[in-house]
Chain A
Amino acid sequence: MSSTQDIYDAIIIGAGTSGSYVALGLVQGGMKCLMLEAGHDFDKNSYPQSELDANSQLFWGGGVELNSSADIGFLRPKVVGGGSVVNQALMDRFDDLAFDSWREASGVDYFTREYMEQWYDKAAEQISIQTVPEAYRNGNADVFRNGFEANGYCYAPLQRAQKDCGHAQGNSCIVCLGGCKRDSKQSTPITGLKRAREAGLELRADFEVEHIEARDGEVRVGGRGRDGSPSNYRARRLVLAAGAIGNSKLLLASGFQSKLPALGHNFHTHPQYMNLALYEEPVDAFKGPLQSYKSADHHFRHSGFKLENVFAPPVAIAMLIPGFGRLHQRYMKKMRHFACIEVAVRDSSPGRIRLKRNGDLLIEKTLNDEDKRRRDNGRDALRNIFYATGASEIIEGNVAIGLHLQGGCNMGLSGGHSVTGPDFKLHGYDNIYTADSSIFPNAPGLNPAFTIMALSIKAAADILAEEGR
């Protein structure tokens, strides 16, 4: 067993959006930090080329993890850069509705649009955010747009963390779902994390943390490298940034649930349903900007769902289309003729992350009647959009996808119903922090990445203030 005698000022577990931006703040404040990440450290030249390898090498469980009733598949990134490497990099500032419901659920009074503005602004300084250019919109964006216009629904162009995507030369951003091959997507390995490493952050990738322990004013972290060799690390402070499932699993496995009864509860995922529609003419939904528009309809928002135009690479499309055999193949050969819109449900019924006796994850997450109503209202709107634009057939995706994994360590004022305090510390622990999506008090119904950035930047500032730096 190897062990290092160094005591770090802070260890950060997880090299995703939150870990990268907390780490950046801390090292810039002069703290000696170690970041541990279970996934591999790729760069634009080494990201997996095929969908097979991308699924296997960039996600936990070889691509997809299922809930206990096997009707939601969770995509949980496992790579240096985390979600920022495999996501669509959509950057939303939360609205009043989201913050009001967070404030109500958590009692934390700084969840207001006015207060958070400054942290969003700081986040915006770190990356290039562009409005997805309408001039290069693909047929799928046209379907979305024309369908919204025909029915009178409101929509808006998406804001994306990107730079120089080369649409004029025919680049397709769908490829970046397996890591951006031209460093256009503003993933943390080329933005915040890069700066943190330049400022002295030590990163150990391919290292899975299995156990943490808080003792004698310090934190001990144990885990294994890719070859199975164990290592232990010590630090004065610990930042959990392994996401909703990662943080919850690690804390549960380390016996924290006795002091934190709400641990693993309040798990939300914005279940997403991708729906395909077949058109006579090619749509080429995978060309150019993958996503261009989102719903901006007041009533959609209040009805608890949102829509975005989207598509997926062949394997994922093959999974969405029901059935198998020759009929399925015929649909696959129509790939260019499919439009696709997703319904993302702002899920009201929380799930729960647990561990089985053998330590495996067990994720309980179902849609209650209200959430099903939200999904169905979204699907009805989709049907109207597809019909208005002349679709010949609509295929509803069967399995829900959980991309926005939130909660499990929800923020609140006291320990009974929440796990993390407004100061980002786990209740009852003075040196364990988390600022990633696991602290979300409920499902905001909006793309979370930008808010994770903003909160993580704030958390780093809070820690530095505490350190007197």
Chain B
Amino acid sequence: MSSRNLSAAQLSGLVKAGDIVIPGDAELPSFSRSGASAHVDRMFDYMHDSDRDGLKLLFSIFNVLPAFLLRGILKLSEKDKALPGPLGAAARMINVGVKGVVMTLYYSDTDQVGINQAIGWDAKCDELDLPEGVEEVAAKEAPQALAAAASSEAERATMLARAGAAALSRLSVKERSAYVASLRDIVLRRREQIIDRIQADTAKSRSDALMSEIYGVLEALHWLEKRAPKLLADRKQYTPLSMLGKSSWTWYEPLGTVLIISPWNYPFIQALIPIASALLAGNTVIYKPSEHTPLEGLIEELLAEAQVPPNWVRIVYGDGSTGAQCVAARPDKVFFTGSTRTGRKIAAQASELLVPVELELGGKDPMIVFADADVQRAAAGALWGALTNTGQSCTSVERLYVERPIYDAFKSELTRQAERIVQAVDSDGSADIGEMTTGFQVEIVARHLEDARAKGAAVLCGEQWDGKSKAIPPIVLDRVSDDMLLAVEESFGPLIPLMPFDGEEEVIARANDSEYGLTASVWSKDLERARRVARRLACGGVSINNVMLTEGNPALPFGGVKNSGFGRHKGEHGLHGFCNIKSVLIDKDSNKIEANWYPYTTEKYRLFSDLLTHLFGRRRSALIKFAATGMKLEKYSDKAGKRGREQ
């Protein structure tokens, strides 16, 4: 064999490298046996001089190198990315050069030595029309679009989201959290535009939107993106002594496709946090925003910019009847945040379908201020807790209990601060509160106020409100009794009913005397007392010496008891709420027959019974006896199991 371009030594270097690259196996000949190197001139004749010279030099070197070194060089050339700039480039050049020559000569199968057959390559393009006796390749049916058969938008969205689950569920949590990280970047970068949209739909003040919706989303996404990989990793669990040799695990797997229905008060936060949590757990999502604050198109746009495929989150717009259609499409879980009334309907519908439901509903949250609390700070906290988002939060301070010794001082401080509140749907962040979002909520506030006035409450500030305008100012009320509507029902507006109390027992009883149980706050210098009171409050979260702060920390679960709903959102528990927590017990493959398997005999009964005595008895020597009985039982069971009962 000779070549116009390569010397005998260079050819031999090529063949040596070729046999390392393609050593051959039962179906494929080795490079040398394929005879491919005979065609080397058909390549080298056409190369640039510099490429040809470089390869000739390489092959000359290969010829004198021991095979293991040559193999080492080729292996190293695959690790180009680990090598710094110029070295990496050199490695790539060697790799592309050597593989290029070898693969080209070999896989062109020029001598037709069966390489094409072995790899299944039989592409052809005949010039002539079909010869007689040869069958035509059958044409396929026209492709059908996915979910073409859906009867409603809700059903279509569910079908599409179900199709999306195939890819998402296969991603690692880390891969999923990369999407959450880009989403966070995008929210941060585009926050001013997002706030514009939130304000347009909700009439919030600009600072309200920034400090609750934007900040809340960023904090939560950041926590989720960092913590989810650990929280959703396989966990080793306790395995009892009696199951020695086995291991127990929980795996956090997706549920499939979940439905998220959100309220109108925080349309951004209530969209992105549950969506991100569900995605991280590997679920695709059907998201139905409130028809009052749909932020139409915004969430899709942000998700698309974060490269989230459209079928991973399908958004369905509409009112309650659309929500009902979404439930009827049988998602794998419903996560609902909203009113108790709607929550009850959804739970009823879902119970028929046996679809699991999580409900985050209303509240009538108490704030309890003891006499030793700092009056100015507590009043400022109460004001914010009652007025943030113009009082339209499920965890707003709706009942303000102040211990009698400081009641008057607190009242005048609160009223003083309330009168300074600036209200506007502003564009520069200078307003404290915005307007009410919906007309029907204005009516409820008006009804509660009228009822309170009729039953003798005194309006300390805000009396200028006409009872109709969406710009409801802060309204502080004194002489409030427990039978007034605003002391019992959720007002969801800027009403602050002040009530004095005498002592721990009384205030705990009054705070717990509510159909709701979402969150609460306790204010006292005496932390021991504050904790004591907090433990006895029937609710899902308590802030001590602060207000509405438990839901600010994304690591803490959020949720309520009684009519405030059930289940937990956010935190580890929230993430796990979107999981099928799968229990896995792993035993070795062996020929052993377990003690609790058949056949049961009197002898086995006795041994097993002894085992229980030693395992659960309190005698000090129990462990050794347990081991001895265990071995006996094991041996007996194995023998009995294999030989059968007759033995």
CB-CB under 8 A from B136, the residues of chain A are 168-170
Shortest Cβ distance from residue B23 to the other chain A in the assembled complex, whole angstroms: 6
Contact pick for A136, options B46, B129, B139, B164, CB 8 Å: B139
B236 on interface, CB distance cutoff 8 Å? no
Question: Which chain A residue has the least Cβ–Cβ distance from B166?
Answer: A388
B550 on interface, CB distance cutoff 8 Å? no
A:63-83 near B, CB below 8 Å: 63-66, 68-71, 73
A364 to B316, CA, bound (A): 49
Contact pick for B125, options A55, A172, A324, A390, CB 8 Å: A172
Q: Scoring B residues 72 to 114 as 1 if CB is less than 8 Å from chain A, else 0, what string do you get?
A: 0010001000000100111011001001100111111110000
A63 to B101, CA, bound (A): 10
Task: Flag if A69 contacts B129 (CB, 8 Å).
Answer: no
B:440-463 near A, CB below 8 Å: none
B171 on interface, CB distance cutoff 8 Å? yes
Task: Flag if A325 contacts B23 (CB, 8 Å).
Answer: yes
Interface of A, helix, strand, loop or mixed by DSSP = helix
Question: Which chain B residue has the least Cβ–Cβ distance from A391?
Answer: B170
Question: Which chain A residue has the least Cβ–Cβ distance from B131?
Answer: A169
Q: Scoring A residues 151 to 193 as 1 if CB is less than 8 Å from chain B, else 0, what string do you get?
A: 1110000000000001111111111100011110000000000
Question: Which chain B residue has the least Cβ–Cβ distance from A170?
Answer: B137
A182 to B124, CA, bound (A): 11
Task: Give the number of residues in B that approach A within 8 Å (Cβ atoms).
Answer: 79
Task: Flag if A329 contacts B171 (CB, 8 Å).
Answer: no
B140 on interface, CB distance cutoff 8 Å? yes
A329 in contact with B22 given A61-B48, A62-B46, A135-B140 (CB within 8 Å): yes
Contact pick for B89, options A55, A69, A168, A380, CB 8 Å: A69
Task: Flag if B309 contacts A151 (CB, 8 Å).
Answer: yes
Task: Flag if A62 contacts B47 (CB, 8 Å).
Answer: yes
CB-CB under 8 A from A147, the residues of chain B are 167
The number of chain A residues touching the other chain, given as a range, is: 35 or more
Task: Flag if B124 contacts A388 (CB, 8 Å).
Answer: no
Stretch touching chain B among A217-225, A315-323, A405-413, A460-468: A315-323
Contact pick for A51, options B90, B107, B175, CB 8 Å: B107
Task: Flag if A319 contacts B167 (CB, 8 Å).
Answer: no
B:376-430 near A, CB below 8 Å: none
Shortest Cβ distance from residue A224 to the other chain B in the assembled complex, whole angstroms: 15
Question: Which chain A residue has the least Cβ–Cβ distance from B130?
Answer: A169
Q: Scoring B residues 297 to 315 as 1 if CB is less than 8 Å from chain A, else 0, what string do you get?
A: 0000000110101111010
A380 to B93, CA, bound (A): 27
B:159-213 near A, CB below 8 Å: 160, 163-164, 166-168, 170-171, 175, 178
CB-CB under 8 A from A469, the residues of chain B are none
Task: Flag if A44 contacts B167 (CB, 8 Å).
Answer: no
A133 to B127, CA, bound (A): 19
B646 on interface, CB distance cutoff 8 Å? no
A135 in contact with B139 given A69-B89, A332-B107 (CB within 8 Å): yes
A416 on interface, CB distance cutoff 8 Å? no
Stretch touching chain A among B115-123, B596-604, B618-626: B115-123
Contact pick for B124, options A64, A134, A170, A325, CB 8 Å: A170
CB-CB under 8 A from B309, the residues of chain A are 151-153, 381, 384
Task: Flag if B145 contacts A360 (CB, 8 Å).
Answer: no
A167 in contact with B312 given A62-B46, A381-B307, A387-B166 (CB within 8 Å): no
Task: Flag if B139 contacts A168 (CB, 8 Å).
Answer: yes
Task: Flag if A151 contacts B107 (CB, 8 Å).
Answer: no
Q: Scoring A residues 35 to 78 as 1 if CB is less than 8 Å from chain B, else 0, what string do you get?
A: 00000000010000011110111001111111011110100000
A288 on interface, CB distance cutoff 8 Å? yes
Contact pick for A333, options B78, B99, B118, CB 8 Å: B118
Shortest Cβ distance from residue A158 to the other chain B in the assembled complex, whole angstroms: 14
Question: Which chain B residue has the least Cβ–Cβ distance from A360?
Answer: B50
CB-CB under 8 A from A149, the residues of chain B are 145-146, 163
A299 to B307, CA, bound (A): 8
Task: Flag if A326 contacts B25 (CB, 8 Å).
Answer: yes
A63 in contact with B100 given A153-B310, A175-B125 (CB within 8 Å): yes
A97 on interface, CB distance cutoff 8 Å? no
Question: Which chain A residue has the least Cβ–Cβ distance from B41?
Answer: A56
A:237-283 near B, CB below 8 Å: 282
Q: Scoring B residues 122 to 150 as 1 if CB is less than 8 Å from chain A, else 0, what string do you get?
A: 01111101100010110111110110000
Task: Flag if B139 contacts A56 (CB, 8 Å).
Answer: no
Task: Flag if B307 contacts A172 (CB, 8 Å).
Answer: no
A66 in contact with B78 given A51-B107, A152-B164, A315-B103 (CB within 8 Å): no
Shortest Cβ distance from residue B507 to the other chain A in the assembled complex, whole angstroms: 53
CB-CB under 8 A from A171, the residues of chain B are 124-126
Task: Flag if B42 contacts A53 (CB, 8 Å).
Answer: yes
A172 in contact with B160 given A151-B310, A399-B92 (CB within 8 Å): no
A52 in contact with B110 given A57-B46, A170-B137, A319-B100 (CB within 8 Å): yes
Question: Which chain A residue has the least Cβ–Cβ distance from B92?
Answer: A70
A134 in contact with B143 given A62-B47, A69-B89, A175-B124 (CB within 8 Å): yes
CB-CB under 8 A from B74, the residues of chain A are 324
Shortest Cβ distance from residue A312 to the other chain B in the assembled complex, whole angstroms: 11
Task: Flag if A286 contacts B121 (CB, 8 Å).
Answer: yes
A63 in contact with B166 given A176-B125, A333-B27 (CB within 8 Å): no
B43 on interface, CB distance cutoff 8 Å? yes
Question: Which chain B residue has the least Cβ–Cβ distance from A68?
Answer: B89
Task: Flag if B167 contacts A385 (CB, 8 Å).
Answer: yes
Contact pick for B123, options A56, A175, A377, CB 8 Å: A175
Shortest Cβ distance from residue A323 to the other chain B in the assembled complex, whole angstroms: 6
Task: Flag if B146 contacts A73 (CB, 8 Å).
Answer: no
A182 to B51, CA, bound (A): 34
B44 on interface, CB distance cutoff 8 Å? yes
Shortest Cβ distance from residue B641 to the other chain A in the assembled complex, whole angstroms: 37
CB-CB under 8 A from B99, the residues of chain A are 318-319, 324
CB-CB under 8 A from B305, the residues of chain A are 299
A123 to B433, CA, bound (A): 62
Contact pick for A52, options B96, B108, B140, B175, CB 8 Å: B108
A71 in contact with B107 given A63-B100, A153-B309 (CB within 8 Å): no
A299 to B302, CA, bound (A): 11
Contact pick for B311, options A53, A151, A286, A380, CB 8 Å: A151
B594 on interface, CB distance cutoff 8 Å? no
A303 on interface, CB distance cutoff 8 Å? yes
B28 on interface, CB distance cutoff 8 Å? yes
A428 on interface, CB distance cutoff 8 Å? no
Task: Flag if A136 contacts B118 (CB, 8 Å).
Answer: no
B373 on interface, CB distance cutoff 8 Å? no
B355 on interface, CB distance cutoff 8 Å? no
A315 to B103, CA, bound (A): 6
A152 in contact with B103 given A56-B45, A62-B51, A66-B93 (CB within 8 Å): no
Can you list 26 A-B pairs, Cβ within 8 angstroms, ordered by A? A50-B110, A52-B105, A52-B110, A56-B42, A62-B44, A62-B47, A69-B92, A134-B142, A136-B137, A149-B145, A149-B146, A150-B163, A152-B160, A152-B311, A153-B310, A166-B126, A169-B130, A172-B123, A286-B123, A313-B121, A318-B107, A322-B78, A326-B23, A328-B21, A328-B22, A329-B24
Contacts A133-B139, A299-B304, A319-B100 given; 20 further ones with Cβ under 8 A?
A44-B127, A52-B42, A53-B42, A63-B104, A136-B137, A152-B164, A166-B129, A168-B130, A168-B136, A169-B126, A313-B123, A325-B20, A329-B28, A332-B107, A333-B119, A360-B50, A380-B175, A380-B178, A383-B167, A384-B167
Which 3 interchain pairs have the tightest Cβ spacing? A152-B310, A152-B311, A52-B108
- A interface residue numbers (CB < 8 A to B): 44, 50-53, 55-57, 60-66, 68-71, 73, 133-137, 145, 147, 149-153, 166-176, 180-183, 282, 286-288, 298-299, 303, 313-315, 317-319, 322-326, 328-329, 332-333, 335-336, 360, 377, 380-381, 383-385, 387-390, 399
- B interface residue numbers (CB < 8 A to A): 20-25, 27-28, 39, 42-51, 74, 78, 85, 88-90, 92-93, 96, 99-100, 103-110, 115-116, 118-121, 123-127, 129-130, 134, 136-137, 139-143, 145-146, 160, 163-164, 166-168, 170-171, 175, 178, 304-305, 307, 309-312, 314
